[in-house]
Structure 1
């Protein structure tokens, strides 16, 4: 029963696909037909041309605004260059004016103060004026009148220099008062009055250029604003035209599509709009689509009843198959659960044995390490005992050496006492010798000239006696120091002997302790070796047990996997049948809804 229903559904879908293909072919043919009539006429009527024309118009207007700005900027730059040239010329003329005034001032101060430094400044100002006038003559872009004015002023300046030079010659000749009077008779203001017109003309040119630049800026702003207003008006006009030519047919198509989407459209209604290009193609394609849609709805309406009946039969068959599949799935699920529990139990046992084996292996490795460390400790203890024996022998030798050294130091103390006695005797002898030399000196003094040589000898003897007394005193001090240090050394040696004896006792006790430790370690080594052999036996037993359980675990896993696959297959079949049942019910509902929806259209 189900195969027959599926066959009917497939035939219905094939019919639907054929109708859909028909619609697509019709749409493509309409587009091709519209394109066949294209050419220059179609291009000029297309949306692409309209948008391109709009874009080109805006670009032209923007280029116009840009050209106006560039032109205004170019004119301003030229005027600015001229004004900068006049500013430099003004600076040059002002420098000439300043140096002329400075020439008059420094010359006056020179005549009043007779300070030659002012004369040097005077000469420097004259050179500056001459250099500036030469530079002024070579300045570019000067008119003929300007050059004539400069040449006239230069002649006046030469005459001014000559008169001032004659005045200074009188001053150097000693005619001071006459020179001062004559210097004032040649006023600088007269010369400056002839130079001021040049400066005023330069200032007038600067003011003129500033006004021209300002007027040019105003004209540029006016032209820019005019072009901007024209651009805005043109843009608005172009957008309105494009809106009428492009948007209106789209609005008509959109309104009819809205009626169709709401389920109450008139499929017999056609759009009529005279246009060309893409809009014409769009209108033709839309009208063709309505025609194809009307044909499609007729085909769907005739097939909907058959689809609904087939869907009801398919739903009944799917429900019967679903009940049988659910029973099989429940049985397979119970078996699968039992298999999974069995596999889980075996896995838990294998994991426990593996953990136990790992623990035993760890114990075995630890016992081996402990045995190695204990043997090493025993060897170290034995070596330590031998070392303590050597230390004990060495301490005995040190005790003997320190005792001998103590006796030697005591003998040194006795010898120092003998040296002290000898130094006392030397001191006494030097005192007596000193007295004898004093007596000899007294006798030599009594003898007069005959005893002078004897007096010299007596004086030398007295000096030797003094030196002997001093040396004996130093020896006595050294001997006392040696005696003190000897007593301290003897006391230190006695303390050292006591410490050495205590060290011998401690070393002997440590040697006994090392022997006892060595005996205990030997007993521990034997016990650890017994534990290690027992652990090895346990490890081999657990490995055999794991090897025995592995095949059982594999069989249980294979059984569980097989039952899971069977359960999955039955569940998939059950889900498929349920989906078929739901799909058939939904298909029946959709067929009814589709029939109702189609009934709303007029075709």
Structure 2
């Protein structure tokens, strides 16, 4: 109890409280914020994994609708890409590249809660299974998947009976009736927050130890001289003026108090010596004593003025330290805002980087499709060229047929003339010749129609060939544009990478500034406390000097009455030891 009631004990307790309370609050707030940020980041990872899986599902469905895959092949390819190939024992080894935590994985359920894809339980139904709170968790997962949402529930850890919170993000594909979900335990994401808390506690313990050492040194520097001075005052109170005086080479209030005490003891010695030497001459002694009292009073006034000035400056220093502390707090708030903005910028940069990667992937697909289109157009152009050549050959053949028909018609006419000359014997032949002529006319008419049709087809083929040539040129320009776009995406990716690196550097610098701010705030608080203590000590010294002046006034009065009290004074002086 003696140590606690001492100035040293009070100063130590006060400084430790000022160090411990803000540090503990900062540790709790930092741990809470880190845990919250890690949980949010983990949910974002789950959501991105599901969204990426939905895009992959859409890509495979396009192959299915294009006829490149059967339904079973398409569904199995999706499962293999999202989780892993199915093994002989019916399980799937997790080969998905996304980091979903130590226990996280992707799975697929249908509308009835049957696992269509799962590392170990594929084909089982979870519709009737409940979590530790008695809720049908898989039903909520399916319900949230209709709009895309999170489901949180408590479930036992793998190979353990320990219960932990699990979070799942799900989204449903309406065409196949699949609900794709990504789930993991929250502790997989916020585990680093515990490490942060441990480091903060370690730093707090180190800071407390250093604070105890520093405060002990400072408190000892203040309290030890005061304790020795208190002991000498106690000896003076007992009447012992023979103890050695301590000369402290200090410019603060403690040093001033010690010097004033030494002066007081010296004056008391001189006073008593003069009283002993002047007992026989009461008037001279009384006069000398009055002069000494007046001189001591003047010294006391000077001391009071000096201490008052010191006290005023100490109060001003305390006010300045308090203002500086407020400014430091404002700086800390601005620094916190800067840290939050850096965090938002870092997250936005990562999102921009992911969007750029998606753009590159889509561009690669476009480049592939453009190449395929280019190849198809080239083949179609060759086909139409061959078709044009064939049309020309057909037109030549039709011309030949037309010539043959004309000759046949001429031969039929000659045959009719010869049949007429033959008379009755040539009538049958004339009928045949007439039929041949009609067939020749029909052939000529048909060949004319064919020729007209061929000309129309030739013209349309020419138009199609021209349009395909233009399309061919457009595809070439498109391929060139895709190449330029790919180059632009590469440059954009480099720029985003530089931005992320710059933001990392800014975050590191802000962290260093934050550490310096913490040290500066602690130092300012210590200065403010010391200023208040100095002001209080100055007030105490002022009170002591005022009491001393009051005592000197009493001495002066006693000197005036010295003549009547010579006997009592002689007995009183006998109590003091000055030799």
TM norm structure 2: 0.31
Larger strand proportion, structure 1 or 2?
Answer: 2
Which is greater in Rg?
Answer: 1
Larger helix proportion, structure 1 or 2?
Answer: 1
TM norm structure 1: 0.30
